Chains A and B, each alone.
Chain A
Amino acid sequence: MVTGRVTSFVILVVIFAAIIYNMQRAKTRLPQMRRIAGLDAIEEAVGRATEMGRPVFFTPGMGDITTSTASETFAALEMMSYTAQLTARNDTGLIVGVAIANVYPLSEQVVEQAYLQAGRPDAYHDDMVRFLSPTQFAYASACMGIIEREKVASTIMAGRFLAEAMLLAEVSSQVGAISIAGTGSEYQLPFFIAACDYTLLGEELLAAGAYLARDPVRLGSLAGQDWSKLLALVMVLIGAIMVTFNPKPPLLDLLKK
């Protein structure tokens, strides 16, 4: 094994086990899910757009799928799929603005498939998913332009965002759109909290796929994640108590292996 990664591996296996065990268990006993307001709000956002006869704008952010932030983009794609199914059913306009080249073909597939599933393949058109530009502010300027010109009723921003987060969120609020934003980026989140109507904090975004799908296996995986967090909580508590009485407890070294 690679030195320095032994503990990581053990913990990873434990977390995997917790998640897989709970996936199995959920087939017989469905876990209770707490509400996540930001995800419930997607329906409201699409509903409002339908009433106003204006489009929904969705953007999966600036995260690529080949880096360590890939998961946020995957979660965003799950949200995109859900949103597109709603807009397809309600016959509401949808515009998806994509910055990252690798995310573009994925987004096209997600939206097209969602329209197919909703029984509205005819309503899907090429102009729905738009590749803008991987240059950060070119992408931002294009999104700002779309939000203003197309008079969107709702904006959904999910995934990894950089400084453009503030621009998108504030422009949405200036045009009076309902805005839902979610990111795992702790330094863009404050802007979203300040400017958006609903915010998904970190893991809440990552839970989106499972939460929205509502099938037992995925809800089970969330229960497994909860067990993992409980593990972290217990480790923190025991560890802190141990170092209080003994500044160098032998067990702590285990975590460095």
Chain B
Amino acid sequence: MDTILKLGRIDRRVLYILMVVLLLWPLIKPLGLPVSVSSWTRQAYGKIDGLKAGDRVIIDFNYPAAGMADVHPQTAAIFNHLMKKNVRVVAIAFVDQGATIADNLIRSWEAQGKKYGEDFIHLGYLAGGETAMAAFVRDIPKAVPTDYRGKPVSSWPIMEGLKTAGDAQMLMYFTTSLLPETWIRQTSQWKMPIIGGVITVMGPQGEPFLQSGQLAGLLVGMRCGAEYEIMSKAPGPAVAAMDAQSIGHLLIIVFIIFGNIAYFAERQGRKRSGL
């Protein structure tokens, strides 16, 4: 009986240590559990695959470095897909650190022969949240006169004919915090397709907007990142992490079961002693 009750009072530090050890194990020695592709990823992939070479996509890098693990695999996989399809990317960040992340990604493709100013442009960080977005969608060259590299925005060929957000063919945002309705609201006059890449926690919140058609696609967390990697036949770091994910969930569920066994035992005990 005592041992059962103890199951309910395991020191949290024990749980913490177990988590580190058990998660590390599949990362060192992958188990290779199969990952099935969800309808979310299929839908988003289909929409993005429908873009033509030369189309322009605005990408809002709306996440700080701290959130990269969950959302960046999506961004990287989609960027990869866009580059292969020769779709042009206009990068912007409404979170300060997002600018640095976008810069890193763009530079890595520049190193592979893509041209800055033609295949992509980086408009840098724009402070002011939704207020700044409202100014941005109405008049991009006015809201962002100079790009991240300090050059006048209008001097680059990619910006030709791009005045409002509606002049682009698609808008994507990747975020750890932005509400799904934000971009929908700001671009509502153009009804342009919007793809949202969000951290896992925000999935349920995005779902109503996906079902109402206000979002053209929704990618949720590292899992969708892994699925996108599989869809575009370029398995990467997200796929590798899925095994560890499974173990982590199992561990927590085992602890929840422990907690409840102890809870019921305690209640039984109290009943028996007449309390």
Binding site for B on A (CB under 8 A): 2-4, 64, 66-69, 135-137, 162-163, 174, 186-188
Contact = CB atoms under 8 A, between A and B. Distances in A.
A69 B179 contact: yes
A64 B202 CA distance: 19
B129 interface: yes
Nearest to B133: A67
A67 B183 CA distance: 13
B189 A187 contact: no
A64 to B, nearest CB: 6
Contacts of B12: 174
A64 B189 CA distance: 26
Given A68-B182, A136-B66, A137-B66, A187 B202 contact: yes
Given A68-B182, A162-B177, A187 B129 contact: no
A158 B223 CA distance: 31
A67 B189 contact: no
B231 to A, nearest CB: 26
Interface residues of B, number: 20
B131 A163 contact: no
Top 4 nearest A-B pairs (CB, nearest first) are A67-B129, A187-B201, A67-B130, A162-B177
Interface string B158-197: 0000000000000000001101011001001100000000
Identify whether the interface residues of B are mostly helix, strand, loop, or mixed. Answer: helix
B223 to A, nearest CB: 16
Contacts of A136: 64, 66
A99 B214 CA distance: 32
A200 B181 CA distance: 22
Contacts of B50: none
Contacts of B34: none
Nearest to B198: A187
A162 B176 contact: yes
Nearest to A62: B177
Contacts of B66: 136-137
B258 to A, nearest CB: 16
